[in-house]
A and B are shown apart, each in its own frame.
Chain A
């Protein structure tokens, strides 16, 4: 796989996300996923950036030039716990209802809201698992889908 995952520790200051996304688009880098959230340390946020192998060195170096970027670690793909959350609203009817919910639950998705003609599922997993779930639900009619961006952490092995 030619993907690389960067874990970026940044100062939690106004504009830091804009600085990072501006640098990425300014340099024309390919980014597959970017997510950001607080960490256990006050004043520090962490971003997970998934990029292509050919861009990774320059992405690292250009982001490192930003004053608010503290540390960039490239995660070892064999040793990384990765996760992403997905919310999906699927169209259902009397005939399909049981089958859709059963399939979703078997895939590990949680039904979080079920209405007359729709069901909302939540699934957490790797991007592969989410893609598989999307393909599984497609025939029933996906009304809306949103993914939270990939996050990753290094295992201690």
Chain B
């Protein structure tokens, strides 16, 4: 029997089903409308966002929590342009994303048609790759390739732009097969010669330090990393994107280094004689001024993306490969080697004792974010997923929350996208309805995408939201205090408008508020008890609190500001 012809739209939906996609996020519109019709009959769950940026972050949250492909669908023109922030965000944080956008009809392209934007051109630098479909029969094959590109090598976003006439064009379903892409062959297996050279350096090192990041999480190499650190007694710093790759609380875990890293993590890098950098990119938030970064250290740099190696810092031993393969190789070649690192670990432990991470919470004073976080962590589940926005609260969470598992910390690290938290948390909760998902957000961030609270309510996604309400763009205020003589230009919001409790209620969620230490436990208890609706806690906090430690941008990691008093150093 001859197979019947399908429309391009049907090929899209069947193509997604074929890729085992179960959930997609999106907003419909004119050019993409044909694809929404077969979606109506599909088992794929579609979550209707209130803004395309939100839908993109939802797909990112889904992908970051699961380690699998996130899918977002949008219409042409403004639909596509609104997606760009999330695409660029996914590119910077290496999140596997597939975006499908409608485009005006082929013959209208280039004519400034209604809702036309040059999506492929606009997203060229914001995606790992993108496609413009010119014939419906290509659709299944392109979707498969797009998934392959998005999820392998260094993961990233791939966009497929489909003109409306192609969505309506009839074509046969041709079973897609992964064919050779001549220009895309990521190196996964580390070169044994380079592994041997790395091992030689490790054996000679007195002060080795594992500097690890998001690459460990993408590669699902946390178990191997644990074995490497534990077996050979090598301390570990985890970057912002690598939090959870190695368990906080383990004696070898030093936490996050960098601009707002803790003293011990940042200084251990400076004092190390060998950085074993895996799945990291020597980001400026880690290195500060690279000239002064780890000046006494040799560098082994392993990454799946060869372009990251030598980009910021030359490596004595460059290794291209998947983190898991690299670490397995190192463990294997190190064999029964005993590394004498106890003096080094003692030096680190002394630092930890001399420079502990502290905060003070006055009994009657305004709430401090670190205190609230500590209380919340005591009450929340072990495998809860924490999703943050960008700014002070993000740094406080990364500093004070104890992450013990990978994929439980979602944030916008590279692009620093305010507004990321709520929609990304919705995506994570859609992936794991039975797990606790906590959107811990700032008030400035929350206001950028807060309409997605309606999405959470109407799509029955009962996540928990804590809005740290300091009535300000807190990090901007902090910089204005330090670098702009307290001239608070355009950084003030307000504690009271909007009324977050009423806003939550108006959007179909439960709204709660805490302002004092005595209320924290009760309010969180209530928040955690409600599981049939999203809950938002308006957590009113001190606007004058600042994040420390701090290394000013472009400074040296040898000069760390530990508190307000220390600001005189700069």
Contact A68 B307 (CB under 8 A): no
- A11 is an interface residue with CB less than 8 A from chain B: yes
> Please, could you name 16 A-B residue pairs with CB atoms under 8 Å apart, sorted by A?
A11-B182, A11-B183, A15-B120, A15-B124, A15-B132, A58-B310, A61-B306, A61-B307, A61-B311, A66-B183, A67-B129, A67-B149, A67-B183, A68-B183, A69-B183, A70-B182
Closest 4 A-B residue pairs measured CB to CB?
A61-B307, A67-B129, A70-B183, A70-B182
- A146 is an interface residue with CB less than 8 A from chain B: no
With both chains docked as a complex, state the minimum distance between the C-beta of B123 and any C-beta of chain A, in angstroms.
Answer: 11
Task: Check A19/B183 contact, CB under 8 A, given A58-B311, A67-B129.
Answer: no
Closest residue of chain B to A43 (Cβ to Cβ) is B182
**B181 CB contacts on chain A under 8 angstroms:** 67
Closest residue of chain B to A19 (Cβ to Cβ) is B124
- B121 is an interface residue with CB less than 8 A from chain A: yes
Contact A64 B124 (CB under 8 A): no
Closest residue of chain A to B311 (Cβ to Cβ) is A58
In the complex, how many residue pairs between chain A and chain B have their CB atoms under 8 Å apart? Answer: 40
**A66 CB contacts on chain B under 8 angstroms:** 129, 183
**A22 CB contacts on chain B under 8 angstroms:** 124-125
Q: Which one of A15, A18, A19, A64 lies within 8 Å of B307 (CB-CB)?
A: A64
- A128 is an interface residue with CB less than 8 A from chain B: no
Known: A23-B125, A62-B307. 14 other contacts (CB 8 A): A18-B121, A18-B124, A19-B124, A22-B124, A57-B310, A61-B307, A64-B307, A65-B128, A65-B305, A65-B307, A67-B149, A67-B181, A67-B183, A67-B184
With both chains docked as a complex, state the minimum distance between the C-beta of B314 and any C-beta of chain A, in angstroms.
Answer: 10
Interface 1/0 per residue, A90-123 and B, CB below 8 Å = 0000000000000000000000000000000000
With both chains docked as a complex, state the minimum distance between the C-beta of A56 and any C-beta of chain B, in angstroms.
Answer: 12
Complex: A64 Cα to B128 Cα, angstroms: 12
> In chain A, residues 53-77, which have Cβ atoms closer than 8 Å to a Cβ of chain B?
57-58, 61-62, 64-70
> In chain B, residues 345-389, which have Cβ atoms closer than 8 Å to a Cβ of chain A?
none
**A61 CB contacts on chain B under 8 angstroms:** 306-307, 311
**B307 CB contacts on chain A under 8 angstroms:** 58, 61-62, 64-65
Closest residue of chain A to B129 (Cβ to Cβ) is A67
Task: Check A26/B125 contact, CB under 8 A, given A64-B306, A65-B305.
Answer: yes
Complex: A61 Cα to B304 Cα, angstroms: 12
With both chains docked as a complex, state the minimum distance between the C-beta of A143 and any C-beta of chain B, in angstroms.
Answer: 34
**A23 CB contacts on chain B under 8 angstroms:** 125
Complex: A15 Cα to B182 Cα, angstroms: 17
Interface centre among A57, A64, A65, A66 (most CB of B within 10 A): A65
Complex: A123 Cα to B72 Cα, angstroms: 54
- A37 is an interface residue with CB less than 8 A from chain B: no
Closest residue of chain A to B132 (Cβ to Cβ) is A14
**B311 CB contacts on chain A under 8 angstroms:** 58, 61
Number of B residues, CB within 8 Å of A: 17
**B121 CB contacts on chain A under 8 angstroms:** 15, 18
**A14 CB contacts on chain B under 8 angstroms:** 132
Complex: A62 Cα to B149 Cα, angstroms: 16
Complex: A66 Cα to B181 Cα, angstroms: 11
Interface residues of A (CB under 8 A from B): 10-11, 14-15, 18-19, 22-23, 26, 57-58, 61-62, 64-70
**B310 CB contacts on chain A under 8 angstroms:** 57-58
Complex: A69 Cα to B184 Cα, angstroms: 8
With both chains docked as a complex, state the minimum distance between the C-beta of B187 and any C-beta of chain A, in angstroms.
Answer: 11
Complex: A58 Cα to B132 Cα, angstroms: 28
With both chains docked as a complex, state the minimum distance between the C-beta of B11 and any C-beta of chain A, in angstroms.
Answer: 21
With both chains docked as a complex, state the minimum distance between the C-beta of A5 and any C-beta of chain B, in angstroms.
Answer: 20
Closest residue of chain B to A61 (Cβ to Cβ) is B307
Complex: A65 Cα to B184 Cα, angstroms: 8
Interface centre among A23, A26, A64 (most CB of B within 10 A): A64
With both chains docked as a complex, state the minimum distance between the C-beta of B1 and any C-beta of chain A, in angstroms.
Answer: 35
> In chain B, residues 301-321, which have Cβ atoms closer than 8 Å to a Cβ of chain A?
305-307, 310-311
Complex: A61 Cα to B311 Cα, angstroms: 10
With both chains docked as a complex, state the minimum distance between the C-beta of A73 and any C-beta of chain B, in angstroms.
Answer: 14
Complex: A19 Cα to B184 Cα, angstroms: 15
Complex: A18 Cα to B184 Cα, angstroms: 18
Complex: A22 Cα to B121 Cα, angstroms: 9
With both chains docked as a complex, state the minimum distance between the C-beta of A71 and any C-beta of chain B, in angstroms.
Answer: 8
With both chains docked as a complex, state the minimum distance between the C-beta of B300 and any C-beta of chain A, in angstroms.
Answer: 18
Complex: A68 Cα to B130 Cα, angstroms: 11
With both chains docked as a complex, state the minimum distance between the C-beta of B433 and any C-beta of chain A, in angstroms.
Answer: 35
> In chain B, residues 107-149, which have Cβ atoms closer than 8 Å to a Cβ of chain A?
120-121, 124-125, 128-129, 132, 149
With both chains docked as a complex, state the minimum distance between the C-beta of A15 and any C-beta of chain B, in angstroms.
Answer: 6
**A10 CB contacts on chain B under 8 angstroms:** 183
Interface 1/0 per residue, B30-58 and A, CB below 8 Å = 00000000000000000000000000000
Complex: A57 Cα to B306 Cα, angstroms: 10
Closest residue of chain B to A16 (Cβ to Cβ) is B183
Complex: A61 Cα to B125 Cα, angstroms: 16
**B128 CB contacts on chain A under 8 angstroms:** 65, 67
With both chains docked as a complex, state the minimum distance between the C-beta of A65 and any C-beta of chain B, in angstroms.
Answer: 6
**B125 CB contacts on chain A under 8 angstroms:** 22-23, 26
Closest residue of chain A to B158 (Cβ to Cβ) is A67
Complex: A22 Cα to B130 Cα, angstroms: 14
**B183 CB contacts on chain A under 8 angstroms:** 10-11, 66-70
Complex: A62 Cα to B306 Cα, angstroms: 9
With both chains docked as a complex, state the minimum distance between the C-beta of B264 and any C-beta of chain A, in angstroms.
Answer: 33
Closest residue of chain A to B120 (Cβ to Cβ) is A15
Complex: A14 Cα to B130 Cα, angstroms: 11
Complex: A83 Cα to B311 Cα, angstroms: 32
Closest residue of chain A to B308 (Cβ to Cβ) is A61
Complex: A26 Cα to B121 Cα, angstroms: 13
**B184 CB contacts on chain A under 8 angstroms:** 67
Closest residue of chain A to B182 (Cβ to Cβ) is A70
Complex: A58 Cα to B306 Cα, angstroms: 10
**A57 CB contacts on chain B under 8 angstroms:** 310
Complex: A22 Cα to B127 Cα, angstroms: 12
Closest residue of chain B to A66 (Cβ to Cβ) is B183
